[in-house]
Amino acid sequence: MSRARPVGVAVVAMLVLLTGASIAFAAADAGTAAQDNETENETANETANETAEITFENQTSNGTAVVVNNTTLPEGGFAVIHAAEPADADNTTEGANATENETMEGANETVTDMSAEYVPGEVLGNSTFLDAGDHENVSVELDQPLEESQVLIAMAHQDTNGNETYEFPEADDPYTTDGEPVIDDALVTLEEGMNETADNETMATETTDNETGM
C-alpha cells in the first residue's frame, strides 16, 4: 500500500504533460491556420489591387479599325475606343447668354491637337472579350468608319456581369485608378487618300439628298 501513492502521482504528472502537449499542438495548428488565412487574404488583395493599364499610340488607319498597343486587365474585360472631347468642352462658349447649340457645336468638334487635354466622349467601338492578363496589339473595329484624322481615347473596361459581352453603360464599368478611368489617347491619322475618299462619299451623299429633295 505504501508504494501505490508514488505511482498515482507519476500517472497524474504524465497526464498533465500530455494535456500540455495537446494544448501546445492545438495552439500551433491554430497559428498555422491563421497564417495561411492571412496569406490567402494578402494574395486576394494583391489580385484585386493589381493596376489595369492601357497603351494607345499614335498610328495610321484605314478608318475602319484601330490598334490598342497594350492593355492589362486584372479580371478580364474589354478595350474600348471613345471619341475625344476637349476637357473644357463645357466652357467653349463665351458669355452667360451663349446658346445650347453653340455649346454642343464646341463639344462635338473633331480634335487633332495632341498637346491639349481630352475627356472620353461617345463609344466608337470595342474589342471582343479579353481574358485576365496582358494583351498586345488588340484590334478594335469601329462602329462607323472615321471620316477624318482625329484624336481618339482608349479605355479599359471590366466585364462586371461576367457574360463576356460589352454592355456599357448598363454594365461593364471602366477600370479606375484613384477614382479616374484608365485611359490613353492617340492621334489616328487616316491613310493617304482615305480623307479624300471620305470627302467624296460625303459630297455624293449630299448631292443625292439634294436631287431627291428637288
How does pLDDT run across 156-189, given as a tens digit for each residue? 999 999 999 999 999 999 999 999 999 999 999 9
Instruction: Tell me which of 134 and 106 has the higher pLDDT.
Output: 134
Contact 152, 81 (CB under 8 A): yes
- Residue whose entry in the numeric block shows the C-alpha cell 447649340: 101
What is the bridge-based pairing of β-strands 183-190 and 59-61? parallel
Q: Decide: 62 and 142 in contact? Cβ < 8 Å.
A: no
Q: How far is residue 196's CA from residue 211's CA, in Å, rounded to a whole number? A: 22
Report the alpha-carbon distance of residue 57 to residue 67 in Å, rounded.
Answer: 8
pLDDT of residue 88: 76
CA distance 135 to 180: 21
Q: Which of 52-56, 86-90, 169-173 has the lowest mean pLDDT?
A: 86-90
In angstroms, rounded to a whole number, what is the distance separating the alpha carbons of residues 152 and 189?
Answer: 10
Give the span between the Cα atoms of 61 and 49, in whole angstroms.
Answer: 35
Distance CA 164, CA 179 (A): 24
pTM metric for this prediction: 0.63
Residue 114 or residue 209, greater confidence = 114
Residue type, 81: I
